[in-house]
Amino acid sequence: MIAPPDRTPLPREFFDRPVLEVAPDLLGRILVRSTPDGPIAVRLTEVEAYDGPNDPGSHAYRGRTPRNDVMFGPPGHVYVYFTYGMWFCMNLVCGPDGTASAVLLRAGEVVEGAELARKRRLSARNDKELAKGPARLATALDVGRALDGTDACAAGETPLKMLTGTPIARDQVRNGPRTGVSGDGGVHPWRFWIANDPTVSPYRAHAPRRRSS
């Protein structure tokens, strides 16, 4: 009999480590979104690491701004950003306070509250697609910019909380280039996912956006 996932909240110390240690260790962990209609929980199956000033692909590569302020700590907080003028994506801040590394949550399996996620993801053809991609994950969990800075390690009731879940054995973790990252940042193999998991999003290399004529 398979043991149920551990519902113990992850401590802040979990995130107070180098981002390349935290990122693969997040696979199999559970993110819970509390809403007025009930909780929605996602088991993380795919993530990407971004290493601040050491990483041309990071939002913090050129320094601190009002947009990326949360990335500079403390660890365990949620960084939410708006992209392509349409979607929100969410990250978990890592490393010591004052640094700017974070893990982008790319995909997951909805393990609780699927009926609530379906209402927000009407275009999903099945439940495996509910959180298959970073924008889809944020949409399924009803995460927007208002949750930027949320402490996912805080005691008591919080809008977002990370639980221990069931860590994935390292021989089941795969890694490769990050999706859609251009230039020097595109060479880092800092995307991590669970092997053969159907909720993992497809890899797409960076494609320059065409200017409208």
- For residues 28 and 200, give the distance between their C-alpha atoms in angstroms, rounded to a whole number: 12
Give the pLDDT band (50/70/90) at residue 63. Answer: confident
Give the pLDDT band (50/70/90) at residue 213. Answer: very low
- Is the CB of residue 44 less than 8 Å from the CB of residue 90? no
Q: What is the pLDDT of residue 80?
A: 97
- For residues 3 and 114, give the distance between their C-alpha atoms in angstroms, rounded to a whole number: 21
- Is the CB of residue 83 less than 8 Å from the CB of residue 138? no
**How do strand 38-51 and strand 173-176 relate by DSSP bridges?**
unpaired
1: pLDDT strictly greater than 60: no
**How do strand 160-165 and strand 6-9 relate by DSSP bridges?**
antiparallel
Q: What would the mean pLDDT of 172-189 be, rounded to a whole number?
A: 88
Q: What angle do CA 155, 67, 58 make, to 5 degrees?
A: 90
CA proximity to 44, closest of 91, 120, 105, 114: 105
> Among 47-56, 111-120, 179-188, 195-204, which stretch is predicted with the lowest mean pLDDT?
179-188
What are the domain boundaries of the chain? 6-194
CATH of 6-194, one of 3.80.10.10, 3.40.50.150, 3.10.300.10, 3.40.190.10: 3.10.300.10
Q: What is the mean pLDDT of the chain?
A: 92
Give the pLDDT band (50/70/90) at residue 2. Answer: low
Residue 159, C-beta contacts closer than 8 angstroms, at least 6 positions apart: 33, 34, 147, 150
182: pLDDT strictly greater than 60: yes
Q: What would the mean pLDDT of 48-69 be, rounded to a whole number?
A: 91
Query: 53 has which bridge partners?
Result: none
Query: 99 has which bridge partners?
Result: 97
Predicted TM-score of the model (pTM): 0.92
